[in-house]
Amino acid sequence: MQLRPGLHRIQAPLGERFIAMYLFEGPAGALLFDTGVDESVEGTLLPYLSSIGFDLSRLRWVVSSHCDFDHTGGNAALKAAAPHVEFLAGAADVAMTQDVDELIRGRYGEFADSDGFDDPPEITALVRASTRLVAVDTPLHGGERFDLGDRELEVLHVPGHSPGHLAVWDAANRALVISDAVLGVTVPTAIGDPAFPPTYRDTAAYVETIRTLREYGADLLLTAHYPLYEGGAVQEFLDESLVYTDRVDARIEAALRAASRPLSSLELIRDIASDLGPWAPAAADYLIFPVTGNLERLVTQGRVAVSEQGGRRVWEWVAR
């Protein structure tokens, strides 16, 4: 649907959730932000573009917000439909945006060796089946501008969920399109139930991203998996996301202080999960993303120490 002049939200199914893609169009061309998974292109994106009479020859750029498969998996399908389009991605995410093996190994398998956590085989199989990638033509660093003829779009580097995560500021519409750059207190299903934890990864960068986005004073905040946020709801969502990082810190501190020995990542997570969200145990284990980010920040601050026992990382509170 068109939300504001030249700004469209295109929502495709993603299991029990959805993935929202965004089209920015103007007299000088158009930019698409994300392609969903492979089936999103033929099943949702192209039919929507046809329904609004959009000529694919006007599409000049496809920007991948970040490397996750549900944002890049449709890149090859779109390339087949519009071979002239330039594909762009955050510089730090390029390797995982154009190579599914690198994505599975470096992103989803990051904790397999160090912490004993990995996606179940059926999830890995789903990622492979849903993802067809293409080479990235141009890496982006933030600060780039795209002229649509009636307005300019600014690309923002907003790391935290991934190192190269990008957002788009459409100043004429006072709209921030942020994909997964900020994740609230839970990732929801399509009907709003809690699906799994907010999977930010680098807490220090994530907090800085939230603070940066707050400064834009956006009237419309657009994400990949959440409802629309308008007016005062924009700041409320950003603020609750920031407060959640402090909530994770507090639960980590309480659990590590109470422990009689260093805890592994999964031991810690399973101790504090019920205080951080209402997820089923399998979903709650994905707290390994934000909890690790918070632990690493606490190590940097000298409040937590990390060591290894039996081939796994363990954590203990050292601050007085």
Instruction: Give tens-digit pLDDT for 233-280.
Output: 999 999 999 999 999 999 999 999 999 999 999 999 999 999 999 999
Q: Is residue 249 in some structural domain?
A: no
Same domain, 216 and 267: no
Same domain, 148 and 187: yes
Same domain, 267 and 185: no
User: What's the pLDDT band for 149 if we cut at 50, 70, 90?
Assistant: very high
Confidence of residue 320 (pLDDT cuts 50, 70, 90): confident
pLDDT score of 3 more than 90: yes
Same domain, residue pair 9 and 112: yes
Residue with the two structure tokens 């959009």: 54
Mean pLDDT on 79-108: 98
* Number of domains making up the chain: 2
CATH of the domain at 286: 1.10.10
Residue 106 within a domain: yes
Residue 136 lies in a domain: yes
Question: To the nearest whole number, what is the mean pLDDT of the chain?
Answer: 98
pLDDT digits (tens, 9 = 90+) for 202-238: 999 999 999 999 999 999 999 999 999 999 999 999 9
Q: Is residue 157 part of a domain?
A: yes
Whichever domain contains 7, its CATH number is 3.60.15.10
Residue 233 within any structural domain of the chain: yes
Same-domain pairing of 59 and 88: yes
* 149 and 191 both lie in a single domain: yes
Domain C-terminal end among 240, 272, 300: 240
If asked whether residues 75 and 154 sit together in one domain, one would say: yes
Could you tell me if residue 191 is inside a domain?
Answer: yes
Q: Are residues 287 and 154 part of one domain?
A: no
Q: Give the per-residue pLDDT at 283.
A: 98
Whether residues 167 and 61 fall in one domain: yes
The CA distance from 190 to 12, in Å, is 10
pLDDT tens per residue, range 162-214: 999 999 999 999 999 999 999 999 999 999 999 999 999 999 999 999 999 99
Burial 66-80 (b: 16+ CB within 10 A, else e): bbbbbbbbbbbbbbe
- Tens of pLDDT, residue by residue over 88-102, are 999 999 999 999 999
Give dist(CA 186, CA 170) in Å, integer. Answer: 26
Residue listed under structure tokens 């020859």 = 57
Percent of the chain's residues with pLDDT above 70:
100
In this prediction, residue 304 carries a pLDDT of 98
Same structural domain for residues 155 and 19? yes
pLDDT value of position 220: 98
Reply yes or no on whether the pLDDT at 147 is more than 90. Answer: yes
Last residue of a domain, one of 188, 213, 240: 240
Burial status of residue 142 (CB atoms within 10 A of its CB: 0-12, 13-18, 19 or more): middle
Rg (CA), the chain: 20
Q: Is the pLDDT of residue 319 over 90?
A: no
Q: What are the C-alpha distances in Å from 36 to residues 12, 14, 209, 213, 228?
A: 7, 9, 23, 24, 18
Alpha carbon distance 250, 2 (integer Å): 41
Same domain for 19 and 162: yes
230 phi and psi, to 5 degrees?
-130, 155
Residue 140, CB-side half-sphere exposure with 13 Å CA sphere: 29
Instruction: Note down the domain range covering 278.
Output: 258-317
Q: CA-to-CA distance for 220 and 66, rounded, in angstroms?
A: 21
Same domain for 33 and 70? yes
Residue that is last in its domain, among 213, 240, 267: 240
Rounded alpha-carbon distances, angstroms, from residue 84 to 148, 170, 200: 17, 24, 34
